[in-house]
Amino acid sequence: MIAFEFTEHIDRSQQEVFAVLADPTRAVDYVDGVVKSVKVTDGPLAVGSVIEETRRVKSKEATGQLQIVALEPPTAFAVASEAEGITATYVYRLHPAGTGTRIEWTCELAAGGLRRMMLPLVAAITKKEDGDHLARLKAYIESQRATETAS
């Protein structure tokens, strides 16, 4: 397994940050390349819920599924996806920090067999594609009025 982490401070409460982070429809507003993101399972968002996400990379669209693997409002949220034998898990931890929130994003990449040799390359690509998404999340949330963020 390979993992890397990014941290950001967002000038909003844990509840406001969590409300945006755990709403799959809002990913299009702050994750670069995401053009569609919807929950495809019935019922409220819960561990086991599935999100279908479509990304545009270099003029091509690809759709994948993310499964909620942790949901602990307002402190933790995690999704996992699998593609071609490599599992990516995005773990978010939210901590109060003054009048705002410190958010930690850990990306864990795992594979078996020979695919393990590809993990450093996959990590580099993932950092390039998603490495700025906490900064984009911060900009998005802080640009919203506090009452809009939690809606």
pLDDT (average), residues 13-24: 95
pTM of the model: 0.90
* Residue 151 pLDDT > 80: no
Asked, for residue 73, whether it belongs to a domain, the answer is yes
* Averaged pLDDT for residues 67-90: 97
Question: For the chain, how many structural domains are there in total?
Answer: 1
Asked if residue 17 has pLDDT above 60, the reply is yes
Q: How far is CA 125 from CA 46, 109, 140, in A?
A: 29, 12, 23
Would residue 97 count as lying in a domain?
yes
* 87 located within any domain: yes
Give the Cα separation of 116 and 2 in Å (integer).
9
Is residue 103 in some structural domain?
A: yes
Residue 21 lies in a domain: yes
Q: What is the pLDDT of residue 59?
A: 87
Residue type, 50: V
User: What is the average pLDDT value for the chain, to the nearest integer?
Assistant: 93
Output the domain CATH number for residue 12. Answer: 3.30.530.20
pLDDT tens profile 95-149: 999 999 999 999 999 999 999 999 999 999 999 988 899 999 999 999 987 545 5
- Residue range of the domain that includes 125: 2-29+69-149
- Is 38 a member of any domain? no
CA-only gyration radius of the chain, Å: 15
Say what the pLDDT of residue 79 is. Answer: 97
- Residues 56-64: contacts with CB under 8 Å, at least 24 apart: 57/33, 57/129, 61/35, 63/36
**DSSP alpha helix (H) spans, the chain:** 14-21, 27-30, 119-130, 133-143, 146-149
Please determine, for residue 35, whether its predicted confidence score (pLDDT) is greater than 70. Answer: yes
Instruction: Report residue 58's pLDDT band, with 50, 70 and 90 as the boundaries.
Output: confident
